[in-house]
Structure 1
């Protein structure tokens, strides 16, 4: 058994808490935060409720913080850790979910970049029609594909500088929203339902942020310097992701007082652009679009690697063709057929959130219930004899199915998606709760089997 095949070498553990904080901060300083703010307002909440939902939704990064601590403690990345939870073959389930997560967010970023370019057409007096939208998609998609020729180091430097510039411009935007916001309208909004309004708003934000990012948290935690306090890893991860997300979502809530139709707009970026001075909007949107390109390239490469971990090995040209086709066809549907970015985005987050919420709940329960004394390296090695951990696999299947039964949207209607579960994302919470219950049952069965074997 060669432990180095599983564990990260000490010489490679170079991340400090400050670097970890910046990595998470940079990854979440993005224009999508404003969109999440608009989605929260769509649940018909008062200003106080919307800010509360933004805060709690941002604090969903407590989950990646916990996962990162496990990664640091074991010195093992996420999908190697999850082999203990699901078995080496059963682990293909989270691998497949991760691939779907990467490709889905890649498509969202391509759509976002395209819409940012389209939003600036008014400045150069270009009409917004099917042809000009196709040109914007071709330009942004082409930049993503051609940027694939850059090295990881070059992409990292570009992303770093764009993060600094975008972060500074975002502070200016937030000040602008604070000054221009219609505070009378904001503070006079009637309160919505806490059960069918606030909770679903929190769940949809959590699905697209903390829960989604949990699949990568141990990948960074495993590279934290030896001797670093686990609490520092936890808070650097949690606050690094939560702070920028909360501020941007609060900005989206304020923007909705300037542009009341933002929450239901088919083109939220165009409406956002119209709320800004045109000269500033051009700079801001160009930087925002540029910041998406390195993220898209990294996602493309990660998606190929993830397919390899599932057992699907393809060459780089085939991978580029496959994923390129997917991330072009999805934007074509959203931009030219559906025409509703926010609606399609919510459907994506709803389905993804259910799968990921059940996965991370089972992963954390397995860690707390069965791995308190550490993970057995033999269970995480490719040569492990435990191919299927049926407790984790069955729990995930039951929790995910239950979540779908309590969910409805434009393409799916679960039989129990009625009453407070109608037209919202509470199925995400249902999936997580059922996953936890299932793991407690697995623990009780395991304990009884252990007692029976000891007595015999």
Structure 2
């Protein structure tokens, strides 16, 4: 809604952005076919050593989302304290961060099975409560004001909104999609893997985003506030808001712990091997310092979140475009197992690496935000995230050039 779109444009942007889960669906299908995880497959597109580039981006992605979850959990607790009569202040924010961060670190002693069981039950409770709350929003919504909102610009409003949704959902999840596909039963039809992955991500996301659009008709300040959870809490009956926020915060904790452990594995794939304890301390420090900056220095959660998604979207959009182009253009008969070996002599696939560098840099050249001002970020590219689309399109174009160059070189060798 901050892109000043009409109600129907916002709903459509939510739908189209949610359909970015078609990308993880495709990647998951490749993972099932090969029985191999994402970053093993990625060695074919980038080389055994060149693959450290997307590995590093994946680590930044994981740590960034960890920080987002800690900030989210802390802000949920801040809003929850309002139920007990405490207004928002640095004291309540700091106390909430200590509580939530402490619970995350303490939960590190739990087994993955226990964490998975906790998350499963909390997800069911959270899902049911969300349906109830969406019903409340639908009843309270100002439908007349929503329907009569003026239409926004389709290029500078609608497309950037779609790109920011895609960056934070389908594009981001594409890095883990083959991991899921690799563990699907071999007897499962590829089409079932594709559609379960796609719809399993897209449908809940669309429902939640549509609920957010409806909420913005009740609380117009939602789109620009630095405290979205406080605004949301104000729109709910206090009793259900308290229960909902407790469940939401509890559901974030297992995600954080699993991400902590995955971050350590990610470091190992880059070549940095540390113990579980060292990893917990190192990543714990990072994901506490980032929330401290956002909550106490910047004070703008949504603004910083959009910067993170913009950076992530450009890097990952070019990565997944190259990954899929490489699969379509060069792996139609399957992946050569030798290319997936971490000690493979095929250390650098310069076609994929150079394509990623060119497309990513170009994406940033067409992007501007609070911390970066690209030299070409003017006109329709000003103050939005269209650089994500620029990076993806250029990555595809670059890989087509690589394909043509290889065909010509092979033809020359044959002659």
Q: Name the TM-score, length of structure 1 as normaliser.
A: 0.91
Mapping of residues 2-81 of structure 1, within 5 Å: 41-81=1-41
Task: Name 1:297's counterpart in structure 2.
Answer: 257
- Partner residue, 2:139: 179
Q: CA deviation at 1:126?
A: 1.7
Q: Secondary structure at the match of 1:123?
A: helix
The match for 1:409 is: 369
Aligned length: 415
1:390 deviates by: 0.3
Structure 2 counterpart SS, 1:121:
helix
* Secondary structure of the structure 2 residue equivalent to 1:190: coil
Give 1:227 shift. 2.1
Say whether residues 1:452 and 2:412 are aligned partners. yes
Q: CA deviation at 1:319?
A: 0.9
Q: What secondary structure is seen at the aligned counterpart in 1 of 2:347?
A: coil
Quote the residue 1:260 is aligned against: 220
Q: Show CA shifts across 1:212-242 (max 9, x none).
A: 0000000000111112111100000000000
Equivalent position of 1:334 in the other structure: 294
Which runs of 5 or more residues in structure 1 are unaligned? Answer: 1-40
Mapped pair 1:348 → 2:308: yes
Deviations 1:143-172 (A, max 9, x none): 000000000000000000001000000000
Separation in 1, partners of 2:247, 2:215 = 20
- Listed one character per residue, the Cα deviations across residues 20-75 of structure 1 (whole Å, up to 9, x for unaligned) are xxxxxxxxxxxxxxxxxxxxx11100011000000000000000000000000111
Q: Does 1:204 align with 2:164?
A: yes
**Shift of residue 443, structure 1, vs aligned partner:** 0.2
> For structure 2, which runs of at least 5 residues remain unmatched after alignment?
none
In structure 2, the residue matched to 1:367 is 327
Structure 2 residue 130 is the aligned partner of structure 1 residue 170: yes
Secondary structure class of the residue paired with 1:378: helix
User: Per-residue CA shift, 1:83-106, capped at 9, x if unaligned?
Assistant: 000000000001000000000000
RMSD: 0.6
195, 199, 205: which one aligns with 1:235: 195
What SS does the aligned partner of 1:332 have?
A: helix
Secondary structure at the residue paired with 1:313? coil
Shift of 1:138: 0.3
In structure 1, what is the equivalent of residue 244 of structure 2?
284
CA distance in 2, matches of 1:383, 1:96: 18
1:20 is matched with which residue?
none
Show the 5 A alignment for 1:401-440: 401-440=361-400
Name the residue aligned to 1:9: none
- Between the aligned partners of 2:209 and 2:393, the Cα distance in structure 1 is 26
1:400: how far off?
Answer: 0.2
1:122 alignment partner, SS class = helix
Q: Secondary structure at the match of 1:84?
A: helix
Q: Give the distance between the partners of 2:372 and 2:101, measured in 1 at CA.
A: 30
1:131 to 91, 94, 113: 91
Q: Which residue of structure 2 lines up, in the alignment, with residue 84 of structure 1?
A: 44
Deviation at 1:372, TM superposition (A): 0.6
Q: CA deviation at 1:404?
A: 0.2
Q: Which residue of 2 aligns with 1:220?
A: 180
Matched, 1:379 2:339: yes
> 4+ residue stretches of structure 1 with deviation over 3 A?
none
Distance of 1:316 and 1:153 partners within structure 2: 17
